[in-house]
Structure 1
Amino acid sequence: MITGWFLAEEGGVGLNFDILETNLINLIIVLGVLFYFGRKFLGKTLSTRQSTIEEAIVDAETRKQEAAAALAEQQQKLAQAQEDAKKIVADAEQTAARTRESILAQAEIDVERMKTNAAQDLSSQEAKVMRELQQRITALALERCEAELPNRLNDDVQRRLVDASIARLGGQS
């Protein structure tokens, strides 16, 4: 069995076939090479990654502050809109009350006017009916007189009427 480095008889370097020794040495060599060549690459990559993360954090903080400011502004607008809505409702209630009062007052005026017109119409109708009634009574009286006049007006009564009329005419002249 060959242990250690395989040495040539005159002293030189050879191959070592011991698995445990060679794995450790190989691992150290690989780590050394990685450390030597990879530290710049890995450092640069990690530095880039770190700056990207820092930028993302700063950007997120900025967006958070902007969102908070926008939220505060929108809440203020909402509060103002609610105040405006309350004012509009109050104004509408006042307008409705004034309109109601106006409508009731106008209705009272209209009712009074209608009562006055109705009373005038009633008086007018009453006067018309009275005139028609008087005309009808007069017409009936004339008809009755004309109907009875020939029976009551005999020759003697006619002479007396003519004489009385002549006497009156004679006294006026």
Structure 2
Amino acid sequence: MKNVTDSFVFLGHWPSAGSFGFNTDILATNPINLSVVLGVLIFFGKGVLNDLLDNRKQRILSTIRNSEELRKGAIEQLEKARARLRKVETEADEYRVNGYSEIAREKMNLINATSDSLEQLENYKNETLRFEQQRAINQVRQRIFEQALQGALGILNSCLNSELHFRTISANIGILGVMEEITN
């Protein structure tokens, strides 16, 4: 590289009369120098620049392709998430409906069980009332029977004398004896 710059410096010292050389006056030679430099840059830098641009283009295209793939993947994931959301919402609605129907069913079961219990209690109450009524009737009958028996015994005792008493006992013994002969 040093040789190239040395040769340009050396060329700058050549006399300009009758020969080819570089004018080092910047104001006078600026368009020429620029066009020469640009020509050299374009000639030698064209391949490098094309390679850089091609590499950049390939990276940009690769990035775009990756972005497209990522976008497609994100869209697929979004659709899957939406499908899962719809499924979960449907299941939640089913649970909600089933929950409400289960609550209604339990409510009806509780009402029916309470109604059955109340009916059984009513039956027990009625049975208890009938039992107590029958017991009261039996007690009244027994008292009436006891009073009638007391009255009959009182009448019998007042009407019966010892001879009538003796004849009644003898007649009953005779009836028992005849019954005994019939059974044998």
What range is the shorter-chain TM-score in?
A: 0.5 to 0.7
Could you tell me which residue of structure 1 aligns to residue 66 of structure 2?
59
Q: Mapping of 1:1-173 within 5 angstroms?
A: 7=15, 16-128=23-135, 161-172=161-172, 173=174
The residue matched to 2:130 in structure 1 has which SS? helix
What is the identity percentage for the equivalent residue pairs of Structure 1 and Structure 2? 22
Question: TM-score scaled to structure 2, two decimals?
Answer: 0.61
- TM-score between both structures, scaled by the size of structure 1: 0.64
Whole-Å separation in 2 of the counterparts to 1:32 and 1:8: 22
What is the total number of aligned residue pairs between the two structures?
A: 153
Q: CA deviation at 1:57?
A: 0.9
- One-letter identity of the residue aligned with 1:101: M
- Mapped to 1, the partners of 2:16 and 2:53 lie a distance apart of 46
Segments of 5+ residues of structure 2 without an aligned counterpart are 1-12, 151-156, 175-184
Aligned Cα root-mean-square deviation (Å)? 3.7
Give the drift of 1:171: 2.5
> Aligned-pair distance for 1:6?
5.8
Q: Distance in 1 between matches of 2:120 and 2:75?
A: 66
- In structure 2, relative to structure 1, the CA distance for the partners of 1:16 and 1:56 (3 Å cut) is closer
Distance 2:67 2:137 in 1: 101
* Contact kept in structure 2, 1:6 and 1:16, CA below 8 Å: no
In structure 2, distance between residues paired with 1:71 and 1:19: 64
What do the CA deviations read for 1:29-58 (whole angstroms, capped 9, x no partner)?
432332233222221111111001011111
In the alignment, structure 1 segments of 5+ residues that lack a partner are 146-156
- Tell me: CA distance 1:111–1:93, structure 2 relative to 1, closer, same or farther (3 Å): same
Partner letter of residue 83 of structure 2? Answer: Q
User: In structure 2, how many angstroms separate the alpha carbons of the residues matched to 1:7 and 1:44?
Assistant: 41
Alpha-carbon offset, residue 90 of structure 1 = 2.9
The SS at the match of 1:7 is coil
